[in-house]
């Protein structure tokens, strides 16, 4: 295993230190507990939006802290849920009197610890939305029900825009639930990944094998197959997503093709090409897209496909200005 780190135990802290030095105009970083927060937080009268999860998925979540997206993010150790005290600190930090929305990926540790944090944050009105967009498996090593994966990125952007324009907590939470109800994802791995503290791959995958339906923590998926061409692999991801969403002719979608960390953007465009062909065949229009490494699994080679059914409101909020380390337009 070769990684650019010093001591394993210092990896997350040193990464956060580097991030704070790279983007001092956007974020501040608190240590003990570790929280990345928007430099102008709290914003009086604005709903605070926070999320969090294990490190190793960068730029999610810390890279999405800033104008038009998150007000704070709680990074745990690699592939490990953040602790309740992190989430409590973040909740209190960003509360500007209008309440705070917790965006929680459906992993058992995240759900439990965010629930505890909402109880600990006395005097703060908190709403929580659990993201469960993965169509690959109903239950996994880390969840009861579907996992929260690529849809989290799209939800954080759209919800962040709603909060930025001054909507109340109930309205912001409603938009989050609407996005979650209309987004689905599925991913694959060409290789496994290595957690620094473990020093070995999270699972073994042969040189001619592909794992279909993986999560973002290096956990195995629904089936292991022999390597196929990019079009065939894209079909294996896209068709279940399209079917689960029930997309029909004349509908519009945001298509998100994501690198799991080690897949070049050129290969992602090969996948996007085939995805666009499939949607064209069904009369579904891609009116917005996102291509690149936005929710990763360390150095894993592979990709995920996420489709979000769009309407005028979600399209408007997606287009709204955003300025974060990991996503920026219109600002």
| CA end-to-end distance (rounded Å), the chain | 40
Tokens (6 digits) for 72: 């704070």
- DSSP-derived secondary structure letter, 34: T
Q: How far apart are CA 116 and CA 97, in angstroms?
A: 20
Tokens (6 digits) for 249: 């002719």
Tokens (6 digits) for 276: 């666009």
Q: How far apart are CA 49 and CA 322, in angstroms?
A: 14
Q: How far apart are CA 259 and CA 126, in angstroms?
A: 33
Residues that are catalytic: 57, 217
Q: How far apart are CA 97 and CA 95, in angstroms?
A: 6
Q: How far apart are CA 104 and CA 207, in angstroms?
A: 35
């Amino acid at each position: 295993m070769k990684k650019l780190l010093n001591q394993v135990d210092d990896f997350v802290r040193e990464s956060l230190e580097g991030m704070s030095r790279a983007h001092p105009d956007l974020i501040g970083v608190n240590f003990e507990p570790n929280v990345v927060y928007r430099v102008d937080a709290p914003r009086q009268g604005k709903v605070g939006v926070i999320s969090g999860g294990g490190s190793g998925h960068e730029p999610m979540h810390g890279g999405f802290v800033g104008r038009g997206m998150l007000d704070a993010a709680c990074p745990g150790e690699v592939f490990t849920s953040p602790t309740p005290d992190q989430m409590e600190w973040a909740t209190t930090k960003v509360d500007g009197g209008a309440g705070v929305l917790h965006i929680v990926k459906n992993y058992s540790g995240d759900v439990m610890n965010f629930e505890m944090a909402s109880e600990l944050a006395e005097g703060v009105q908190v709403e929580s939305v659990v993201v469960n967009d993965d169509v690959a498996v109903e239950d996994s090593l880390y969840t009861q029900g579907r996992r929260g994966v690529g849809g989290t990125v799209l939800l954080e952007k759209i919800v962040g825009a709603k909060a930025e324009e001054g909507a109340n907590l109930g309205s912001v939470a409603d938009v989050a639930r609407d996005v979650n109800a209309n987004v689905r994802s599925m991913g694959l791995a060409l290789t496994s990944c290595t957690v620094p503290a473990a020093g070995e791959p999270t699972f073994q995958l042969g040189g001619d094998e592909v794992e279909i339906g993986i999560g973002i923590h290096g956990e195995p998926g629904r089936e292991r197959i022999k390597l196929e061409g990019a079009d065939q692999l894209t079909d294996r991801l896209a068709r279940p997503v399209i079917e689960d969403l029930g997309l029909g002719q004349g509908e519009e979608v945001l298509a998100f093709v994501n690198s799991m960390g080690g897949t070049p953007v050129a290969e992602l465009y090969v996948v996007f090409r085939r995805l666009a062909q499939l949607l064209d065949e069904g009369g579904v229009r891609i009116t917005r897209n996102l291509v690149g490494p936005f929710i990763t699994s360390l150095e894993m080679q592979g990709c995920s496909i996420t489709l979000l059914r769009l309407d005028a409101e979600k399209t408007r909020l997606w287009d709204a200005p955003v300025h974060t380390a990991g996503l920026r337009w219109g600002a």
